[in-house]
Amino acid sequence: MPKDDDGFITDLTAQTSYGGYLCLDALLAAQRPRSTHHDEMLFIIQHQVAELWMKLMIHELEAAIAHVRADRLAPCFKILARVKQVQRQLFEQWSVLETLTPSEYVEFRGVLGPASGLQSYQFRAIEFLLGNKNARLIEVYRHDAPACERLTKLLASPSLYDEFLRYLARRGMPVPPERIERDWSQPYEKHSGVTAVFKTIYLNTQEFWAEYDMCEKLVDVEENFQLWRFRHVKTVERIIGFKPGTGGTTGVAFLRRTLETSLFPELVDVRTEIH
Protein backbone atom coordinates (compact mmCIF):
# COMPACT_ATOMS: atom_id res chain seq x y z
CA MET A 1 0.00 0.00 0.00
CA PRO A 2 1.53 3.39 -1.03
CA LYS A 3 2.96 5.50 1.80
CA ASP A 4 4.70 8.85 2.03
CA ASP A 5 8.15 9.42 3.52
CA ASP A 6 6.73 9.53 7.06
CA GLY A 7 4.91 6.24 6.67
CA PHE A 8 1.42 7.64 6.28
CA ILE A 9 -0.85 5.60 4.00
CA THR A 10 -1.79 7.79 1.05
CA ASP A 11 -3.80 5.43 -1.14
CA LEU A 12 -7.24 6.15 0.29
CA THR A 13 -10.77 5.88 -1.03
CA ALA A 14 -13.94 7.32 0.46
CA GLN A 15 -14.60 3.93 2.05
CA THR A 16 -11.21 3.57 3.76
CA SER A 17 -10.42 7.12 4.83
CA TYR A 18 -11.02 8.77 8.20
CA GLY A 19 -13.53 11.15 6.65
CA GLY A 20 -15.32 8.32 4.91
CA TYR A 21 -15.60 6.21 8.05
CA LEU A 22 -17.06 9.13 10.01
CA CYS A 23 -19.23 10.39 7.12
CA LEU A 24 -17.69 13.83 7.62
CA ASP A 25 -19.04 15.18 4.33
CA ALA A 26 -22.59 14.77 5.63
CA LEU A 27 -21.76 15.74 9.21
CA LEU A 28 -19.94 18.97 8.36
CA ALA A 29 -22.55 19.93 5.78
CA ALA A 30 -25.34 19.71 8.35
CA GLN A 31 -24.82 23.25 9.69
CA ARG A 32 -27.17 25.47 7.71
CA PRO A 33 -27.64 28.89 9.28
CA ARG A 34 -30.83 30.73 8.37
CA SER A 35 -29.32 34.15 8.98
CA THR A 36 -26.06 35.87 8.15
CA HIS A 37 -25.23 36.49 11.79
CA HIS A 38 -21.86 35.11 12.87
CA ASP A 39 -23.08 33.53 16.13
CA GLU A 40 -25.81 31.36 14.66
CA MET A 41 -23.13 28.78 13.77
CA LEU A 42 -22.31 28.41 17.48
CA PHE A 43 -25.98 27.91 18.31
CA ILE A 44 -26.42 25.21 15.67
CA ILE A 45 -23.25 23.28 16.50
CA GLN A 46 -23.97 23.45 20.24
CA HIS A 47 -27.31 21.73 19.79
CA GLN A 48 -26.11 19.25 17.17
CA VAL A 49 -23.28 18.10 19.42
CA ALA A 50 -25.77 17.72 22.28
CA GLU A 51 -27.94 15.52 20.05
CA LEU A 52 -24.94 13.30 19.25
CA TRP A 53 -24.19 12.83 22.95
CA MET A 54 -27.86 12.10 23.59
CA LYS A 55 -27.80 9.47 20.85
CA LEU A 56 -24.99 7.74 22.73
CA MET A 57 -26.91 8.03 26.01
CA ILE A 58 -29.93 6.33 24.47
CA HIS A 59 -27.70 3.59 23.06
CA GLU A 60 -26.20 2.98 26.52
CA LEU A 61 -29.43 3.22 28.52
CA GLU A 62 -31.19 0.75 26.24
CA ALA A 63 -28.28 -1.66 26.71
CA ALA A 64 -28.48 -1.21 30.49
CA ILE A 65 -32.20 -1.97 30.48
CA ALA A 66 -31.60 -5.15 28.46
CA HIS A 67 -28.94 -6.31 30.93
CA VAL A 68 -31.15 -5.71 33.98
CA ARG A 69 -34.03 -7.50 32.30
CA ALA A 70 -31.69 -10.48 31.81
CA ASP A 71 -30.56 -10.38 35.49
CA ARG A 72 -27.10 -9.06 34.62
CA LEU A 73 -26.30 -6.07 36.82
CA ALA A 74 -22.51 -6.13 36.44
CA PRO A 75 -22.36 -4.82 32.84
CA CYS A 76 -24.58 -1.91 33.88
CA PHE A 77 -21.90 -0.49 36.14
CA LYS A 78 -19.59 0.27 33.22
CA ILE A 79 -22.50 1.45 31.08
CA LEU A 80 -23.83 3.87 33.70
CA ALA A 81 -20.33 5.12 34.47
CA ARG A 82 -20.10 6.02 30.78
CA VAL A 83 -23.53 7.66 30.85
CA LYS A 84 -22.33 9.77 33.76
CA GLN A 85 -19.35 11.00 31.70
CA VAL A 86 -21.61 11.77 28.73
CA GLN A 87 -23.80 13.79 31.08
CA ARG A 88 -20.69 15.64 32.20
CA GLN A 89 -19.96 16.61 28.59
CA LEU A 90 -23.53 17.83 28.14
CA PHE A 91 -23.24 19.88 31.32
CA GLU A 92 -19.90 21.45 30.44
CA GLN A 93 -20.88 22.48 26.94
CA TRP A 94 -23.40 24.97 28.32
CA SER A 95 -20.36 27.12 29.10
CA VAL A 96 -19.73 27.46 25.36
CA LEU A 97 -23.30 28.62 24.70
CA GLU A 98 -23.00 31.09 27.58
CA THR A 99 -20.50 33.07 25.49
CA LEU A 100 -23.55 34.08 23.41
CA THR A 101 -24.75 37.43 24.72
CA PRO A 102 -28.38 38.64 24.69
CA SER A 103 -27.67 41.19 21.95
CA GLU A 104 -26.00 38.52 19.78
CA TYR A 105 -28.79 35.97 20.21
CA VAL A 106 -31.56 38.43 19.40
CA GLU A 107 -29.93 39.01 16.00
CA PHE A 108 -30.98 35.58 14.77
CA ARG A 109 -33.54 34.30 17.29
CA GLY A 110 -36.38 35.19 14.95
CA VAL A 111 -35.24 32.69 12.29
CA LEU A 112 -35.85 29.81 14.71
CA GLY A 113 -39.61 30.26 14.47
CA PRO A 114 -41.32 27.82 16.87
CA ALA A 115 -38.27 25.51 16.95
CA SER A 116 -37.13 24.76 20.50
CA GLY A 117 -34.77 22.36 22.23
CA LEU A 118 -37.76 21.18 24.25
CA GLN A 119 -38.94 19.50 21.04
CA SER A 120 -35.86 17.26 20.99
CA TYR A 121 -37.09 13.73 20.31
CA GLN A 122 -33.93 12.24 21.80
CA PHE A 123 -34.21 14.21 25.02
CA ARG A 124 -37.77 12.96 25.41
CA ALA A 125 -36.55 9.40 24.76
CA ILE A 126 -33.98 9.76 27.55
CA GLU A 127 -36.67 11.00 29.92
CA PHE A 128 -38.88 8.01 29.07
CA LEU A 129 -35.97 5.57 29.47
CA LEU A 130 -35.31 7.06 32.92
CA GLY A 131 -38.99 6.93 33.87
CA ASN A 132 -40.20 10.52 33.46
CA LYS A 133 -43.29 9.63 31.43
CA ASN A 134 -45.80 12.11 30.01
CA ALA A 135 -48.08 10.82 27.24
CA ARG A 136 -49.30 14.32 26.36
CA LEU A 137 -45.84 15.35 25.14
CA ILE A 138 -45.94 12.82 22.29
CA GLU A 139 -48.39 15.12 20.50
CA VAL A 140 -45.45 17.39 19.67
CA TYR A 141 -44.04 14.66 17.40
CA ARG A 142 -47.14 13.86 15.34
CA HIS A 143 -45.41 15.43 12.31
CA ASP A 144 -42.59 12.86 12.60
CA ALA A 145 -44.06 9.36 12.32
CA PRO A 146 -40.88 7.38 13.16
CA ALA A 147 -40.13 9.52 16.24
CA CYS A 148 -43.76 9.32 17.36
CA GLU A 149 -43.78 5.53 17.00
CA ARG A 150 -40.50 5.14 18.89
CA LEU A 151 -41.61 7.38 21.75
CA THR A 152 -44.97 5.64 21.98
CA LYS A 153 -43.14 2.33 22.36
CA LEU A 154 -40.83 3.73 25.06
CA LEU A 155 -43.81 5.25 26.86
CA ALA A 156 -45.44 1.83 27.13
CA SER A 157 -42.25 0.03 28.20
CA PRO A 158 -40.65 -0.31 31.66
CA SER A 159 -37.98 2.29 32.38
CA LEU A 160 -34.53 1.48 33.74
CA TYR A 161 -35.84 2.06 37.27
CA ASP A 162 -38.89 -0.13 36.65
CA GLU A 163 -36.68 -2.96 35.43
CA PHE A 164 -34.41 -2.63 38.45
CA LEU A 165 -37.38 -2.96 40.81
CA ARG A 166 -38.54 -6.02 38.88
CA TYR A 167 -35.03 -7.46 39.16
CA LEU A 168 -35.10 -6.95 42.94
CA ALA A 169 -38.46 -8.72 43.12
CA ARG A 170 -37.05 -11.67 41.17
CA ARG A 171 -34.26 -11.81 43.75
CA GLY A 172 -36.87 -12.33 46.44
CA MET A 173 -37.00 -8.82 47.84
CA PRO A 174 -40.46 -7.57 48.91
CA VAL A 175 -41.02 -4.98 46.21
CA PRO A 176 -44.73 -4.02 46.28
CA PRO A 177 -46.63 -5.93 43.54
CA GLU A 178 -48.09 -2.70 42.15
CA ARG A 179 -44.55 -1.59 41.30
CA ILE A 180 -43.73 -4.81 39.44
CA GLU A 181 -46.69 -4.85 37.06
CA ARG A 182 -48.44 -1.60 36.23
CA ASP A 183 -49.34 0.71 33.37
CA TRP A 184 -45.81 1.71 32.31
CA SER A 185 -47.09 4.73 30.39
CA GLN A 186 -48.05 6.43 33.65
CA PRO A 187 -45.60 8.50 35.69
CA TYR A 188 -43.90 6.59 38.48
CA GLU A 189 -45.29 7.20 41.97
CA LYS A 190 -43.07 6.54 44.95
CA HIS A 191 -43.96 3.84 47.47
CA SER A 192 -42.79 3.42 51.07
CA GLY A 193 -42.41 -0.32 50.41
CA VAL A 194 -39.74 0.40 47.81
CA THR A 195 -37.95 2.68 50.26
CA ALA A 196 -37.93 -0.20 52.76
CA VAL A 197 -36.33 -2.50 50.18
CA PHE A 198 -33.60 0.03 49.52
CA LYS A 199 -33.07 0.45 53.28
CA THR A 200 -32.38 -3.27 53.52
CA ILE A 201 -29.85 -2.99 50.72
CA TYR A 202 -28.07 0.03 52.19
CA LEU A 203 -27.86 -1.52 55.65
CA ASN A 204 -26.57 -4.84 54.30
CA THR A 205 -24.12 -3.79 51.61
CA GLN A 206 -21.92 -6.89 51.85
CA GLU A 207 -24.88 -9.16 51.16
CA PHE A 208 -26.33 -6.94 48.43
CA TRP A 209 -23.20 -5.33 47.00
CA ALA A 210 -24.27 -5.46 43.33
CA GLU A 211 -27.68 -4.03 44.13
CA TYR A 212 -26.08 -1.36 46.33
CA ASP A 213 -23.68 -0.41 43.53
CA MET A 214 -26.57 -0.20 41.07
CA CYS A 215 -28.46 2.10 43.44
CA GLU A 216 -25.51 4.47 43.64
CA LYS A 217 -25.05 4.44 39.87
CA LEU A 218 -28.68 5.46 39.47
CA VAL A 219 -28.20 8.25 42.00
CA ASP A 220 -25.26 9.48 39.90
CA VAL A 221 -27.41 9.52 36.77
CA GLU A 222 -30.24 11.43 38.45
CA GLU A 223 -27.91 13.95 40.07
CA ASN A 224 -26.21 14.69 36.76
CA PHE A 225 -29.55 14.91 34.99
CA GLN A 226 -30.71 17.53 37.48
CA LEU A 227 -27.43 19.42 37.30
CA TRP A 228 -27.78 19.55 33.50
CA ARG A 229 -31.30 20.92 33.87
CA PHE A 230 -30.18 23.53 36.38
CA ARG A 231 -27.37 24.67 34.08
CA HIS A 232 -29.91 24.85 31.26
CA VAL A 233 -32.10 27.15 33.37
CA LYS A 234 -29.20 29.43 34.23
CA THR A 235 -27.96 29.56 30.63
CA VAL A 236 -31.40 30.49 29.30
CA GLU A 237 -31.82 33.05 32.07
CA ARG A 238 -28.45 34.55 31.19
CA ILE A 239 -29.20 34.85 27.47
CA ILE A 240 -32.92 35.73 27.24
CA GLY A 241 -33.88 36.68 30.78
CA PHE A 242 -37.56 35.97 31.42
CA LYS A 243 -38.83 36.19 27.84
CA PRO A 244 -41.08 33.34 26.61
CA GLY A 245 -39.37 30.36 24.99
CA THR A 246 -39.44 29.91 21.21
CA GLY A 247 -41.49 26.70 21.60
CA GLY A 248 -44.36 28.51 23.33
CA THR A 249 -43.39 27.89 26.96
CA THR A 250 -42.93 30.54 29.62
CA GLY A 251 -39.17 30.10 29.30
CA VAL A 252 -37.21 30.19 32.54
CA ALA A 253 -40.32 29.73 34.70
CA PHE A 254 -41.20 26.55 32.81
CA LEU A 255 -37.66 25.21 33.03
CA ARG A 256 -37.49 25.85 36.77
CA ARG A 257 -40.54 23.64 37.30
CA THR A 258 -38.74 20.73 35.65
CA LEU A 259 -36.18 20.83 38.47
CA GLU A 260 -38.87 19.50 40.82
CA THR A 261 -39.05 16.15 38.99
CA SER A 262 -37.53 13.20 40.83
CA LEU A 263 -36.61 10.20 38.67
CA PHE A 264 -35.83 7.68 41.41
CA PRO A 265 -37.58 9.12 44.49
CA GLU A 266 -37.07 6.24 46.91
CA LEU A 267 -33.31 6.41 46.39
CA VAL A 268 -33.50 9.88 47.93
CA ASP A 269 -36.03 8.95 50.61
CA VAL A 270 -33.95 6.01 51.85
CA ARG A 271 -31.21 8.39 52.95
CA THR A 272 -33.57 9.84 55.54
CA GLU A 273 -34.35 6.34 56.84
CA ILE A 274 -30.76 5.30 57.46
CA HIS A 275 -29.56 5.92 61.03
Q: Is 38 annotated as a binding residue?
A: no
Q: Is 138 annotated as a binding residue?
A: no
Q: Is 109 annotated as a binding residue?
A: yes
Q: Is 44 annotated as a binding residue?
A: yes
Q: Is 67 annotated as a binding residue?
A: no
Cα distance between residue 61 and residue 64, in whole Å? 5
Q: Is 249 annotated as a binding residue?
A: no
Q: Is 47 annotated as a binding residue?
A: yes
Residues in binding site for substrate:
43-47, 105, 109, 246
Which residues define the annotated binding site for heme?
Answer: 232
Detail the residues annotated as belonging to a binding site. 43-47, 105, 109, 232, 246
